[in-house]
Chain A
Amino acid sequence: MHMPSLATQFLHVLAAGLLMISFAMLAQRRIRRLIVLLAWQGAMLSASTLLVAITAHQSHLYYSAALTLALKVIVLPWILMRLMKRLGIAGDIEPLVNISTLLLVGLALVIFAFGLAQPISALATTVTRQALGIALAVILLAFLMIIARRKAVTQVIGILALENGLFFAATSATYGMPMVVELGIALDLLVGVFVFGIFFFHIREQFDSLDLHHFEALKED
């Protein structure tokens, strides 16, 4: 059996790191830690993109890596931190489902994602094709986190994590999307977070809390 190159092995390590961080986010109760984890996930993503850029000689991926670093490691976590402090919600968040069940469901999702990625990665020709299963797992885990949390802020973090997964899937399956698309998505994310921030203040003004169960009052009977 032929041994994969050092760079590929290193990529697999980074991918595994992404997955581990996803699980950590699923298990994390504190918002501050969640944001830190999100920043770490961004860093892993940026590093893996850089690595792919070097091994596959894809020059546009350098820009992607730089963009990811700037946006997902520095800017967005900083905005979220500020938001958290302004809203005064640094404490615990109660998950809807208890953490251990959540982790078990997450495990099942990872197996499902790997099964799903098998035929696709067989078709791909990139150096990172093995990582596709991980990327899908990251997406599904992020979705699970959005569902299982109660506070509105965690939903935003979930969406950002989901975007990380999508980005990783794109790099591992086809060496990333065209530059224009990536720039557009980055801008969307930034704007999205701002809009969410404004919404949070409005929600809090309306309900005196960011707890989503207050939304149940909006249902028409």
Chain B
Amino acid sequence: MTYLPFAYPLPALITLIAAWLVLGMLGLLQPQRVGWVARMLFPLGALVALGVAAVAVSALRAGFTPQVLVLPLGLPDLPFHLRLDALSGFFLMLLGIAGAGISIFAAGYFRRGEGTSPGLLGLQYHVFLASMALVVLADDAYLFMLAWETMALSSYFLVTSQHRIAEIRRAGFIYLLMAHIGALSILLCFGALHGGNWTMTFDAMRGASLSPAWADVAFCLALFGFGAKAGLFPVHIWLPEAHPAAPSPVSAMMSGLMLKTAIYGLLRVSMDLMHTGPWWWGLVTMLIGLFTALFGVVFAAVQTDMKRLLAYSSIENIGLIIAAVGLALLARSFDMNLLAALALAAALIHAFNHALFKSLLFLATGSVLHATGERNLGKLGGLIRYMPWVAMLALVGTLAIAGLPPLNGFVSEWLLLQAFLSTPAIPHSFINMIVPLGAAAVALTAALAGYVMVKFYGVIFLGQPREAQLERAHDAGVLERIGLAWLALGCILIGVFPQVALDAAASVTRALTGAAVQRGGTIWWIAPVSPAQASYSGLWLLAGLLGVVAVVFVIVRLFYHGRVRRVPPWDCGYRWLTPRMQDTAEGFGQPIRRIFGPFFRIEREVPAPDDAQPHYAIRIEDRTWRAIYAPITATVRRLADAVAVLQRGRLAVYLLYSFLTLIVLLMFVI
């Protein structure tokens, strides 16, 4: 027997989403009281998120039939259509599970005196959550765009919560601009998708028969529009600006959750609403994704701001997910459903994993920021001694994002590699040659991601504190620890039991590609292609690792010497070591800067040899700013100047304009 919320999942979800909105409104009762807004309402919001996840999981059961609901809201004759199927269920589960952790953390994080009042932040925060849930549930273009724009606006206000700082306002503006350009493209995409029957429900779009040319147009618009939200190259520029500007829980939400709604949108349009397209859709998507991944990770390696580093790392992960989506599209266009299912499962699981570990890391940077007031890696260091909880939990996230077993990042990257390596069967020789190169690019990206994460963790938490004030850093509060621990637990569980994630993804792939990846092997092992080619068991690996550690420990303690010695580190023959002698963030990234030189636009100030007070500075810029955005900005400005000739500042001239318009229109009447 199923309980009521699970028997009627859609009404239950609507109730939960409404509960978020109510919580947001309640915050306005006493907007200045942190105790009320943060300690009361945010934990309740986390509970609601858990509820959403629990109901959404029911949509992932085998044999679940999609549920639809029409809400008599919205404009006359344009009611809201909602639909819960496996795809939306998967993304809702992601939203609920990661959102719960972030909300709990936020309950301990927000404090007074940081820009917008807590009550207002709470309202925007919960509206943001609710709109993301609605994006995923929407079943017509109208509700989708409404929720999409609400999501963009509420997150804009969250990003600019410290709006008195000009830099943050600028970051917010770039974000808002890119969000709207993307939304415009999505709107046009829906305009192309209805195929001439002018019905904007997704159901009608599924049934519409598009001419190949219109289908191409719709796909390109969708890729551009959702790509702008996800952070695909070259429309990624808002991401490294907006993420560092936002408060940390908001960065976590945007990076962990909001980017995933873009993945959802791309999947919904390209695999559900549209029929199978030509192979170049998949190829283009895959290549853009791979380039974005490489681009993101290379830029992450040279960052010196910890949140900017994570933002570029988000670009990298989104690139990998989109590459997997591209591969799925490619395989689908050749009717290779099993391969499509494998690539899609890799994309979905990686999206889920990224939501967990990237949120975890962004939240950890929030704790560090509150404890030290520093975002600059060059002024951090040695925090593992002062913030042991945050350091240990961040370590889990760092290892996971670096793709090390037995954590979750390994599972999805391994699945992705499996998908890329099992493609020689594609009946197209040109693509057959390209796809293995993709596997190489994925491997390179994964390796560089490991490098980046060593830098991130090593510079912040290990070594000696680079500034004296760091010794006063305090560990995170209880609520923050719970939030971090929740996300870290997710990373570990999916890493150890990848079967669960694979099962959840299977119901989605079955709905979208008609096939599902077999677990293969026995219950403890997964072997997506065949046990003969590759198989993996998180549990056995964990057991093995623990066993080796235990054996080494026992041998060292019992048989070798058993003493614990504490000595200062070797100083290489110098007389003393200072924290300034440690490897810096710039120094650590220097090899990457050399190897991938053409990626960057570098400005360096090198001191003269006889300078008494040498000063060294380096500025690394994204080439896309000058190559793409500067010309566009200049053109827009020129056009605006041309139009501005009309603005004379004289009332009589303005009146003359309308008078002449009237006369001309009247002439047409005759």
Contact = CB atoms under 8 A, between A and B. Distances in A.
A220 B647 CA distance: 9
B670 A116 contact: yes
Given A115-B670, A116-B669, A119-B670, A215 B659 contact: no
Interface stretch (B113-121, B215-223, B649-657): B649-657
A212 B649 contact: no
A143 interface: yes
B648 interface: yes
Which of A116, A140, A147 has its CB near the most chain B CB atoms (within 10 A)?
A147
A148 interface: yes
B659 A144 contact: yes
A219 interface: yes
Interface of A: 96, 112, 115-116, 119, 140, 143-144, 146-148, 150, 155, 212-213, 215-220
A147 B663 contact: no
Contacts of A116: 666, 669-670
**Chain B interface helix/strand/loop/mixed:** helix
B548 interface: no
Nearest to A215: B651
A96 B650 CA distance: 11
A219 B647 contact: yes
A146 B654 CA distance: 11
Which A-B residue pairs are the 9 nearest by beta carbons? Answer: A219-B649, A216-B649, A147-B655, A212-B651, A147-B652, A143-B659, A147-B656, A116-B666, A96-B652
Given A115-B670, A147-B655, A215 B650 contact: yes
Nearest to A120: B669
Contacts of A150: 652
Interface string B627-651: 0000000000000000000011111
B659 A147 contact: yes
Contacts of B663: 112, 140
Contacts of A213: 650
Given A150-B652, A216-B649, 18 more contacts: A115-B670, A116-B666, A116-B670, A119-B670, A140-B663, A144-B659, A146-B655, A147-B656, A155-B651, A212-B650, A212-B652, A213-B650, A215-B649, A215-B650, A215-B651, A217-B649, A219-B647, A220-B647
A119 B670 CA distance: 8
Contacts of A219: 647-649
Contacts of A217: 649
Contacts of A119: 670
B381 to A, nearest CB: 49
A140 B651 CA distance: 17
Nearest to A146: B655
Contacts of B659: 143-144, 147
Contacts of A220: 647
Contacts of B440: none
Contacts of A140: 663
A215 B650 CA distance: 7
B143 to A, nearest CB: 36
A150 B652 CA distance: 8
B649 to A, nearest CB: 3
Nearest to B658: A143
Contacts of A148: 652
Nearest to A150: B652
B662 interface: yes
Contacts of B648: 216, 219
Nearest to B656: A147
Contacts of B670: 115-116, 119
A138 B145 CA distance: 48
A140 B663 CA distance: 9
A148 B650 CA distance: 11
A155 B654 CA distance: 13
Contacts of B647: 219-220
A217 B650 CA distance: 9
15 contacts: A116-B669, A116-B670, A119-B670, A143-B655, A143-B659, A143-B662, A146-B655, A147-B652, A212-B652, A213-B650, A215-B650, A216-B648, A216-B649, A216-B650, A219-B647
Interface string B559-583: 0000000000000000000000000
A105 to B, nearest CB: 11
Nearest to B647: A219
Contacts of A112: 663, 666
A143 to B, nearest CB: 5
Given A116-B666, A116-B669, A218 B655 contact: no
Which of B647, B652, B662, B663 has its CB near the most chain A CB atoms (within 10 A)?
B652
Nearest to B670: A116
A138 to B, nearest CB: 14
B641 to A, nearest CB: 11
A27 B652 CA distance: 17
A116 B664 CA distance: 12
A158 B167 CA distance: 48
A124 to B, nearest CB: 15
A117 B512 CA distance: 64
A112 B662 CA distance: 12
A192 to B, nearest CB: 17
A71 B364 CA distance: 71
A31 B312 CA distance: 68
Interface string B529-559: 0000000000000000000000000000000
A217 B649 CA distance: 7
Nearest to B669: A116
Contacts of B656: 147
Contacts of B652: 96, 147-148, 150, 212
A221 B496 CA distance: 64
A138 B670 CA distance: 19
